[in-house]
Amino acid sequence: MKRNLHRIAALATGLLAAGPASAQYFEGKTLTMMINYPAGGNTDTEGRIFQRHLAKHIKGNPTLIVNHRPGAGGLVGVNWMGSGNAPKDGTLFCFCTLNIVEPLIGGPALTVKYEDFAFIAGVHQWIAGYGRKDIPPGMKQPADLARATDVFAAGYNPSTPHDMRSKLTLELLGTKFRMVTGQRSIAEINKGMLQKEVNFSLSSMPAFMSQTMPNLIKEGVAMTFFYLPLYGPDNRVAKRSAELDALGVPMFQDIYQQAHGKAPSGPTWDALVLVSNLSTTMLRAVLMPKGSPKEAVAEMRKAFVDVSEDPAFKAEYKRIIQIDAEMVSAEQGQELLASMSTVKPATSAVLKRVASQ
């Protein structure tokens, strides 16, 4: 992965060497990082770590501010980025959690095409499922989730990857559940869990490690049921989380095996693997509007490569998120977005059904 990042850096450097004007493109300017979820959530927590270190890696040392455009499970911000109203002068980029489900099902809520944006970088993230220990009839071990009778799963919007992962995992386990959608952030979800308004959710690592672990798990209110690894073409585990393994968190297929005596399979399992792989591989994406100047795009790509190697950034990221930052290069991200155009008909049918629930 680092080799690919350095290749992108070399390309960006070559483009910047075209002339002195491009090298100082951002001098005296203010850059806006648009985040498509509210303050205090996973996306914001992670994005602000980048914000604190990024500007010093951009030639011209611009001012870097954050603007939030939340709503509709992150789609409000992304749709605005692709509209004619967003600046295209190179001073705007988003640090976004992508909804990869809408393009897979051809949903109308996403009014732009991801491939139309200038892709800058992406960030890999692990996803963990957790919930209250008093979910009926009482949760003593992770596999007990399969026999839960009254799960209220917190959701943002029916077609978001968060909601889809929740519905697909619980459906596969055979859990009796209802979705409680309309949540705005993981902070709101965790507050609702403390107040017994919801009792199950999924989270990526920024808020899971900094909020869920100290306030719910360590306090004995909740437990971690599983995490989703990366799967290979045969749906077998291709990569797992050393940090979550060290915490004793089982992988999803392990609790499925324990509950049902066999490995998961079938179209619903295929759908979960697809959604999980796409969002885990690149849960966050850094994008610039279509038509942004080439020199601005090249400089931003180089800046994200450089910040990922910055010792101060790496140390703060590890301290807050408690895992190392794993970046996705521009080249890898564009390939990943292109891969969304081919989905098995049976898998597509499952995704459309589950998204409508």
- Give the residue with greater pLDDT, 79 vs 330: 79
Report pTM.
Answer: 0.82
Report pLDDT for 301: 94
- CATH-assigned architecture of domain 2-124+282-346: 3-Layer(aba) Sandwich (3.40)
By C-alpha distance, which of 282, 293, 289, 280 is closest to 112? 289
Q: What is the mean pLDDT of the chain?
A: 88
Given pLDDT bands bounded at 50, 70 and 90, which one contains residue 108?
A: confident
Which residues, other chains included, contact 179 with Cβ-Cβ below 8 Å and sequence gap of 6+?
153, 155, 158, 163, 166, 167, 357
User: Mean pLDDT, to the nearest integer, of 201-206?
Assistant: 92
CA distance 355 to 357: 6
**CATH topology for 127-278?**
D-Maltodextrin-Binding Protein; domain 2 (3.40.190)
Residue type, 173: L
pLDDT band, very low/low/confident/very high, at 235 (cuts 50, 70, 90): confident
Per-residue pLDDT at 8: 36
Residue 330 CA to residue 314 CA, distance in Å, equals 20
CA angle centred on 329, ends 328 and 332, rounded to 5°: 85
Over pLDDT 90: what percentage of the chain? 61
Token couple for 203:
């989270």
Angle at 206 between CA 200 and CA 116, to 5 degrees: 100
Percent of the chain scoring above 70 in pLDDT: 93
Report pLDDT digits (tens) over 18-65: 344 445 788 889 999 999 998 888 899 999 999 999 999 998 889 999
- Are 9 and 45 in contact by the 8 Å Cβ rule? The answer is no
Do 128 and 202 form a contact (C-beta atoms < 8 A)? yes
User: Model confidence at 17, in pLDDT bands (50, 70, 90)?
Assistant: very low
Residue 10 has pLDDT above 50, yes or no: no
d(CA 340, CA 334): 10
Q: For the segment 284-337, what is each residue's pLDDT rounded down to a tens digit?
A: 999 999 999 999 999 999 999 999 999 999 999 999 888 899 898 888 888 777
In the chain, ranges of CATH 3.40.190.150 domains:
2-124+282-346
pLDDT per residue as tens digits for the range 178-188:
999 998 888 89
Q: Look at residue 353 in the predicted model and tell me its pLDDT.
A: 93
pLDDT of residue 85: 87
Beta-bridge partner residues of 260: none
Give the per-residue pLDDT at 338.
Answer: 75
Over residues 335-348, mean pLDDT: 79
- What residue spans in the chain does CATH classification 3.40.190.10 cover? 127-278
